Amino acid sequence: MISLRYTPLPASLYKENRDRLAAKLPAGSLVIVHSNDVYPTNADGTHFFHQNANLFYLTGIDQEESTLLMQVAEDGAHHDILLLRETNEQIAIWEGARLEKEEGSQISGIEEVIWSDNYQSLIAELMPENKQIWLERDNHPRRLTYVQTRNERMADALKANYPDSTYESIYDILTKLRLVKHEEEIEQLRRACRSTGEGFIDLLPQVKAGMGEWEIEGILAVGYMRRRSRKFSFSPIIASGANSCVLHYISNHTATKDGDLILLDIGAEYGHYAGDMSRTIPANGCYSPRQRAVYNACLAVHKKAKQLMLPGIVKVDFERDVRAFMAIQLLELGLITQAEIDEHPSDPPAVRRYYMHGCSHSLGIDVHDICPADAIFAENQVWTIEPGIYIPAESIGIRIETDVVVKSDGVEDLLGFVPIEVEEIEAAMRG
């Protein structure tokens, strides 16, 4: 009996994902995708296991030492093999039993399931039979790590042992496939966003000046786990005062002060799908006039961006138009001059002094979900909308973020129920 904290997606969805991938590959291809490793901490400790997103997208399997093999024939026909770690009495006692073959098949829709101990012998059998070997490699343009993934390590071993084979990457293909979400995926994202927003709403009346940023993080963590999230979908940002101007501040170690703003960039995970929301609230429950003015300027940009996000719009053009509208708001706040705007009206460089990141990123299994550099908005894509204004000299950093599904006539706001106007936030904080 499979028991999960979340409601799993149907095996038919993962089969369709494999069908779509196979249709993009030539006959004689062999696809090899591994799970992530369980990474060590110190002594005998390990980090929380986090599954490789592409393996999950193709199988639904959330277990270490798992591998997908796909043999592609003519016209997109394919034979799939799932390798799983075999459970034993010792594993069952210390860690909990792993999936049985029947359970792996039930989740993934793959009929042939074998134990991972057979990997090397199976590879030796399959490699000579296939013309091209398609491997998974994380080519995200902002990825920076010195740690080698299991996929990368296994790829190095394959190339060393089978140097005459032709190797390709499935990254670009999966990037385009994952950009448009199935309705079942959008429903998981709705669940993640519902938990994200409800946890934030529960938090608002509890916030008081003098609280530690870590206390706020703790309240959110409890709220998310009560709603069946396993964890935050990313390291939460609880940034008060001057910390609000640090874009990726995650230490959350400072006590809030009366008069501070608190920028919260937070999200709950549900069934491997990520919520991602930002709101900026006053520690004492009431915005100052200047804070209110900057907040409302950022909110005006937020609303404009929602209007601009339509099918057929090229993302780079969208980002440029958002910055051009931001320039008007920064001018009214006295932060930039008309002369600076006139230098390059369609995309004033001065804007980047106070708004230095993009407005939107794709959202899905990963918080910064993979997407093509030349992305064009289309129906059933899911994006964030998150303009920000950061004024270090005034210790004012404001970011307002929601998650939206692109529709034919606009967007569906997955966090539309969450307070966003100044008056709504102040009223919610009064309880």
4, part of any domain: no
What's at 358, amino acid-wise?
G
What's at 265, amino acid-wise?
D
Predicted local confidence at residue 4, as pLDDT: 80
The Cα–Cα gap between 266 and 232 comes to 7
Please say which residue of 162, 179, 196 terminates a domain.
Answer: 179
pLDDT band at 2 (very low <50, low <70, confident <90, very high): low
* Chain segment 233-261, per-residue pLDDT in tens: 999 999 999 999 999 999 999 999 999 99
6, part of any domain: no
Task: List the CATH number of the domain containing 99.
Answer: 3.40.350.10
The Cα–Cα gap between 373 and 213 comes to 35
324, part of any domain: yes
The Cα–Cα gap between 300 and 426 comes to 18
For 29, list phi and psi in degrees, rounded to 5.
Answer: -95, 145
Total structural domains in the chain?
2
pLDDT band at 88 (very low <50, low <70, confident <90, very high): confident
Under 8 Å between Cβ of 186 and 382: yes
The Cα–Cα gap between 344 and 293 comes to 25
**160 and 227 belong to one structural domain:** no
Top pLDDT among 138 and 48 is at: 48
* Chain segment 296-351, per-residue pLDDT in tens: 999 999 999 999 999 999 999 999 999 999 999 999 999 999 999 999 999 999 99
The Cα–Cα gap between 248 and 92 comes to 39
**249 and 354 belong to one structural domain:** yes
Q: Using the predicted structure, report yes or no on whether residue 159 has a pLDDT greater than 60.
A: yes
**219 and 355 belong to one structural domain:** yes
The Cα–Cα gap between 415 and 149 comes to 34
Provide the 10 A C-beta neighbour count for residue 210. 12
Identify the CA nearest to 52 among candidates 42, 40, 41, 65: 65
The Cα–Cα gap between 277 and 384 comes to 8
| Structural domain harbouring 54 | 11-179
- pLDDT (average), residues 16-37: 97
Predicted local confidence at residue 182, as pLDDT: 97
**106 and 138 belong to one structural domain:** yes
The residue behind tokens 């950022």 is: 298
Q: What HEC string does the chain produce?
A: CCCCCCCCCCHHHHHHHHHHHHHCCCCCEEEEEECCCCCECCCCCECCCCCCHHHHHHHCCCCCCCEEEEEECHHHCEEEEEEECCCCHHHHHHCCCCCCHHHHHHHHCCCEEEEHHHHHHHHHHHHHHCCEEEECCCCCCCCCCCCCCHHHHHHHHHHHHCCCCEEEECHHHHHHHHHECCHHHHHHHHHHHHHHHHHHHHHHHHCCCCCEHHHHHHHHHHHHHHCCCCCECCCCEEEEHHHHHCCCCCCCCCECCCCCEEEEEECEEECCEECCEEEEEECCCCCCHHHHHHHHHHHHHHHHHHHHCCCCCEHHHHHHHHHHHHHHHHHHCCCCCHHHHHHCCCCCHHHHHCCCCCCCCECCCCCCCCCCCCCECCCCEEEEECCEEEEHHHCEEEECEEEEEEECCEEEECCCCCCCCHHHHHHHHHC
3, part of any domain: no
Under 8 Å between Cβ of 263 and 397: yes
**245 and 146 belong to one structural domain:** no
CA 3, 4, 10, 13 torsion: positive or negative? negative
Q: Using the predicted structure, report yes or no on whether residue 360 has a pLDDT greater than 90.
A: yes
Task: List the CATH number of the domain containing 201.
Answer: 3.90.230.10
51, part of any domain: yes
283, part of any domain: yes
Paired residues of 407 in beta bridges: 410
Please say which residue of 144, 163, 179 terminates a domain.
Answer: 179
**98 and 242 belong to one structural domain:** no
Q: What HEC string does 145-188 produce?
A: CCCCCHHHHHHHHHHHHCCCCEEEECHHHHHHHHHECCHHHHHH
Q: Report the relative pairing of strands 67-72 and 237-240 from DSSP bridges.
A: unpaired
Q: Return the exposure string of 10-25: e unless at least 16 CB atoms fall within 10 Å of the residue's CB, then b.
A: ebebbbebbeebbebb
**305 and 413 belong to one structural domain:** yes
**140 and 228 belong to one structural domain:** no
pLDDT band at 108 (very low <50, low <70, confident <90, very high): very high
19, part of any domain: yes
For 198, list phi and psi in degrees, rounded to 5.
Answer: -65, -40
**170 and 232 belong to one structural domain:** no
**194 and 169 belong to one structural domain:** no
Please say which residue of 179, 201, 225 terminates a domain.
Answer: 179
Tell whether pTM > 0.85. Answer: yes
Q: Using the predicted structure, report yes or no on whether residue 137 has a pLDDT greater than 90.
A: no
2, part of any domain: no
**171 and 187 belong to one structural domain:** no
**258 and 167 belong to one structural domain:** no
